[in-house]
Amino acid sequence: MKRLLRICSLVIGLIILLSWAVYSEPKEDAVEKIRKRGYILWGSDAEGGAPYVFPSPKDPSRLIGFEVDLAEAIAHELGVQARQSQNAWDSLIPSLKRGDFDIAINGIEITPERKQEVLFSLPYYIYTEQLVVRKEETAIRGIDNLKGKKAGTLSGAVAQNILEGIGGVDVRIYSGQVEPYEDLAIGRIDAVLLDLPIAAYYAKPNPKLKYAGAPVGRGYYGIVIKKEDEELKKALDDILAKLLQTGELKRIYEKWDMWNETQEALFQDIKGSETHPGIEESRKAPLQTFFPMLIKGAGITIFISVASMALAVSLGLILTLLRLYSRPPFSSLATAYIELYRGTPLLIQLYILYYGLPNIGISLSPVAAAFLGLGMNYAAYEAEIYRAGIMSVPKGQMEAASSLGMTKTLALRRIILPQALRIATPGITNDFIALFKDSSLVSVIAMVELTKTYTILSASTLRFFELGLIVAVLYFAMSYPLSLLAGRLENKLKGTA
C-alpha cells in the first residue's frame, strides 16, 4: 500500500513537472503585462560589481550603480516600479530566455552571436577596453606588448575575444571583476583588460596599478530583451531616445563619473551597433572544434582530483592517528581540524586560500590553492572514514598483538591499520568520486578545469545545451569506471576478510 502511494505520487510529480515544462504562456503584449503587474523585473548580477550594480557601501541591503539609475529611469517612463532580480552574469541571457525576468541590464555587450539569441535595445553606453598594469611595469605599454604575458579578463566579455585575437597571450579567465585586479596587484598576472567603467572604478584608485595606453576597441551596452518581446524593445528604444534627448542619461553618467566624449557618439550612430565581428563562427562551429579545449579541461580535472585525493588520504590518516592515539594538545587539534573543515563550505575554504591568504602575504598559485583546498577539505572526511574503520577492528586484535609483545605502534601498523583500511576502502573510493565532481568548485579560483571550460565556452557561444551534454558525458565517462573499480574492490575485500 505504502509502495503504491509512493509510485502514485511519483507519477503525479512527473506529470506536473512535464506539464510545467511543456506549458508556455499565451502570447501577451509584454509592455501591457508589465504595466498591469506594476513593476518591471530586470536581471543583473550584483556580484559583477561597481559601477554597474552593486550593494551600497552605506547600506549593503540596497543596490546602487548607474544601471540601477537607468532601470529606475526606464521604469519611471513606463509608469511602473523597477525590481532587480539577482542572477549570475554568466547566465543572464539563459535566465532571461527562461522568463526569470523581463529584461537584463548589466553591461551586456551587443554582439552578433548574442543578437541571434535575444533582442537588444538601442545602445545605452559606449564602452572601451582599458589595459591596466602594475605601477612599476614598463614593458607593457599597450595590448601589442602582451605576447607571452599573462592577461586577465572576465569570462564571456568582449575583452576576452580581443585578448584571444592577439595570439600568444596567456589569457586568464575570471568570473568576478575584483579578482583579476587583485591578482594583478600581487603579481599573479601581468595585465588586465576590461571595460573602461570597471577599470575606472576598481583599478584607477588602486595606487599599485596604472592604465597602459589608450582605450582599445569600442562596443555598446544594450538592454537585453526576449526575442518575442518586440513591443517591449520598441518601448525601450523610445524611452532610451527620450532619456538621451532630455539629458537624463548624461546626468546619470556624470553622476557615476562615466561621461566622456565617446558617449557623444550615442547621439550620432545610435543605429550602428555591430563593431565587434568577433566570434560569430563559434556559434555555428561544429562541436568537434571545442573538443581540444574540453579534453584539456578534463585532463586538468583528473590531475587536480588525483593529486588532492592523494593529499586527502595521507593527511586524513595522520589526522586520525593523531586524534585516536596522540596526547591531548595534538589529539584535540586534530579533532578541531576535522570538525572545522567538515563544518564549513568548501567554497569558502577555497576563497580564503586563494583570495584571503594574499592579505597576509601568502600568495598561492591557482593549482596549489586548488590542490590544497580540495585535499585539506577531503582529508577531514577521510580521517573520519579511517576512524570508523579502526573502531570496527575488534578489540581482541590489539590484545592479541600486545600479548605477543608488540608495541602499540607496531600493532597499529601491522595489525590494526591493514584491517581498518580494508573496511575503509569502499568509503574512500566513494569519496574519490565525490571529490572528482567537487573539483568543479575550483573554477572559482581561476582554475580552468572542465566545468570552467564549459561555462567559458557556453558563455561565449550560448550553446549551453550541447556543450552541457558533452561535459556531463565527459564527467560520467571519468567517474563511472571509478564506481566499477570501487565495486570490484569491495567484492575482492569481502573475499579475503
The Cα 118–Cα 109 span in angstroms is 12
Burial 176-197 (b: 16+ CB within 10 A, else e): bbebbbbbbbeebbbbbbbbbb
- For the bound state, the minimum distance from the C-beta of residue 393 to another protein, rounded and expressed in Å, comes to 9
Task: Closer to another protein by CB, 420 or 447: give it.
Answer: 420
C-beta of 404 vs 472, nearer to another protein: 404
328 scored as a contact of another protein (CB under 8 A):
no
397 binds another protein (CB under 8 A): yes
Residues 6+ apart with CB under 8 A from 363: 186, 187, 188, 357
Told to check if 422 binds another protein by CB under 8 A, we report: yes
403 belongs to the binding site for another protein (CB under 8 A): yes
Counting Cα atoms < 13 Å in the Cβ hemisphere of 391 gives 9
Does 141 sit near another protein (CB under 8 A)?
no
The DSSP bridge partners found for residue 84 are 42
**Among 265, 302, 367, 406, which residue interacts with another protein (rule: CB under 8 A)?**
406
> Is-contact 191 151, C-beta < 8 A?
yes
Binding another protein (rule: CB under 8 A), the pick from 24, 207, 394, 484 is 394
Q: Is 425 in the site for another protein (CB under 8 A)?
A: no
Stretch that binds another protein, among 25-33, 227-235, 280-288, 391-399 (CB under 8 A): 391-399
Instruction: Tell me the closest approach of the beta carbon of residue 408 to another protein, in angstroms.
Output: 9
Q: Which is nearer to another protein, 361 or 405 (CB)?
A: 405
- Phi-psi region at 217: left, alpha or beta (left = phi > 0; alpha = psi -120 to 50): left
- Residues whose CB falls within 8 Å of the CB of residue 345, separated by 6 or more in sequence, listed in order: none
> What's the closest the beta carbon of residue 465 comes to another protein, in angstroms?
50
Contact status: 418 vs another protein (CB under 8 A):
yes
Cell 539569441, residue located: 117
The residue type of 114 is R
* Candidate residues 419, 425, 430, 483; the one interacting with another protein per rule CB under 8 A: 419
347 touching another protein, by CB under 8 A: no
Closest to 154 in 3D by CA, of 125, 183, 134: 183
Contact between 491 and another protein by CB under 8 A: the answer reads: no
Q: Does 346 bind another protein (CB under 8 A)?
A: no
* Shortest Cβ 387–another protein spacing (Å): 19
| 391 near another protein, rule: CB under 8 A | no
Cell numbers that stand for 387 in this block: 576512524
CB of 423 to another protein, least distance (A): 11
- Asked if 336 is part of the footprint of another protein (rule: CB under 8 A), the reply reads no
Q: Which is nearer to another protein, 266 or 415 (CB)?
A: 415
Q: How far apart are CA 152 and CA 202, in angstroms?
A: 14
Interaction between residue 405 and another protein (CB under 8 A):
yes
| Least Å from the CB of residue 396 to another protein | 4
Our CB check for another protein shows the closer of 415 and 444 to be: 415
Is position 428 an interface residue for another protein (rule: CB under 8 A)? no
Supply 75's cell numbers.
521604469
Stretch that binds another protein, among 105-113, 200-208, 405-413, 439-447 (CB under 8 A): 405-413
Establish if 396 lies at the interface with another protein (CB under 8 A): yes
> Cβ closer to another protein: 282 or 402?
402
415 binds another protein (CB under 8 A): yes
Q: Which residue type is seen at 108?
A: I
Under rule CB under 8 A, residue 60 binds another protein: no
Q: Which is nearer to another protein, 141 or 414 (CB)?
A: 414
Tell me the DSSP string of 289-342.
GGHHHHHHHHHHHHHHHHHHHHHHHHHHHHHHHHHHHS-HHHHHHHHHHHHHHH
Nearer to another protein (CB atom), residue 285 or residue 404: 404
Give the closest residue to 177 by CA, choosing from 198, 197, 196.
198
* Residue 288 in the binding site for another protein (CB under 8 A): no
> How near is the Cβ of 410 to another protein at its closest, in Å?
6
Q: Extract the C-alpha cell encoding 179.
A: 579578482
Which triple of cell numbers denotes residue 100?
Answer: 526569470
188 is a contact residue toward another protein (CB under 8 A): no
- Cis peptide preceding 51, ω within 30 of 0: yes
Q: Which stretch binds another protein (CB under 8 A): 1-9, 125-133, 372-380, 412-420?
A: 412-420
Q: Is 414 in the site for another protein (CB under 8 A)?
A: yes
Residue 15 binds another protein (CB under 8 A): no
Q: Considering CB under 8 A, how many residues would be counted as binding another protein?
A: 20
The three-state (H, E, C) secondary structure of 398-443, written as one string:
HHHHHHCCCCHHHHHHHHHHHHHHHHHHHHHHHHHHHHHHHHHHHH
Q: Is 492 in the site for another protein (CB under 8 A)?
A: no
Question: Which pairs from 376-379 meet CB under 8 Å and 24+ separation?
Answer: 376/311, 376/312, 376/315, 376/341, 376/349, 377/312, 377/341, 377/346, 377/349, 378/308, 378/309, 378/311, 378/312, 378/316, 378/431, 378/435, 379/311, 379/312, 379/313, 379/315, 379/316, 379/319, 379/341
User: Do 92 and 44 form a contact (C-beta atoms < 8 A)?
Assistant: yes
Q: How many whole angstroms separate alpha carbon 181 and alpha carbon 154?
A: 11
- Tell me the β-bridge partners of 153: 173
Binding site residues, another protein, CB under 8 A: 394, 396-397, 399-407, 410, 414-415, 418-419, 422, 496-497
